[in-house]
Structure 1
Amino acid sequence: MAQQTMRGMRLGTQSLESERGVNYSARSTHSYQCINNHVSEMVFAADAELPQTWQCKQCPEQATLLEDGKMVVLEANDDKTPRSHWEMLLERRTREELEEILQERLDYIRARRAGGQADL
């Protein structure tokens, strides 16, 4: 019997979809400028909320949004700084209470060790 080659398409490498009938959303281009005077053009959806800063494409600095050729004055964010576990603990207990709990726990561990029991 003669060998026949299977003819077909490489699955996953070529899309079977076409761009006919696709309606793209409205877009707008906005400029961002960093302190090194690099200007980056970014495209956003027309109804998107614009970020005031964006990472510069040419250097590691933060670029600021330009409106009418002028940099936008950044709004002061009153974001809370992250609290540490220690700060959250101090909101629930006083330092004296924590020292008392620590001493109770240390006494318990010492008693277990003296009794020959392993720590878990």
Structure 2
Amino acid sequence: MAERALRGARLGAQSFEDERGVEMAPRQEVEYALADGRTFTVTMSEEAEIPGEWEDPKSGQMGRLVGADASGNDKDEKPIRTHWDMLLERRSVDELEDLLSERLELLRGGEIGPPHLHRRSASKKKTA
């Protein structure tokens, strides 16, 4: 039985793959500066998009890319359109005021709105 025992290497500590003939991907060193003046470098692929900020692995502070413009690195982003902006694309302020007054009249008259509000008002009218 001892002859058939499996023999192995250390678990997870050693690789038997050979690196001969393997070409590593091209890399670049990117430098970031912290607010206190210290710098650190990050190794990235040549093809990677370089972010304008990176967290320092030692201190946890955010570093800014050295040698980049503050606005030139980021992509031009569209301004965020709010619900109000989209509404104003379809209707004028006067039209919106008219719609609001119509809907308020219907709500106050009990024609629209949550049913529990209408039941109370109907029971109050009967007792009065």
Q: Per the shorter chain, which TM-score range? A: 0.5 to 0.7
State whether residues 52 and 73 of structure 2, in contact with CA within 8 Å, keep that contact through their aligned partners in structure 1.
Answer: no
Cα RMSD for the two superposed structures? 3.3
Unaligned stretches of 5+ in structure 1?
A: 1-13
Pick the aligned partner of 1:93 from 91, 94, 97: 91
Q: Which runs of 4+ in 1 moved over 4 A?
A: 21-24
3-state SS in 1 of match to 2:110: helix
Percent identity of paired positions between Structure 1 and Structure 2: 29
2:115 equivalent to 1:118: yes
Unaligned stretches of 5+ in structure 2?
A: 1-10, 118-128
Instruction: Tell me how many residue pairs correspond in the alignment.
Output: 98
Please, what TM-score do these two structures have when normalized by structure 2? 0.56
Q: State how far apart, in whole Å, the 1-side matches of 2:42 and 2:104 are.
A: 59
More strand by share: 1
State whether residues 112 and 119 of structure 1, in contact with CA within 8 Å, keep that contact through their aligned partners in structure 2.
Answer: no
State whether residues 34 and 61 of structure 2, in contact with CA within 8 Å, keep that contact through their aligned partners in structure 1.
Answer: no
Kindly state the Cα deviation for residue 50 of structure 1 after the two structures are TM-superposed.
1.5
Please, what TM-score do these two structures have when normalized by structure 1? 0.58
- In structure 2, the CA distance between the partners of 1:88 and 1:110, relative to structure 1 (3 Å rule), is same
3-state SS in 2 of match to 1:104: helix
3-state SS in 2 of match to 1:54: strand
State whether residues 40 and 56 of structure 2, in contact with CA within 8 Å, keep that contact through their aligned partners in structure 1.
Answer: yes
State whether residues 109 and 119 of structure 1, in contact with CA within 8 Å, keep that contact through their aligned partners in structure 2.
Answer: no
More helix by share: 2
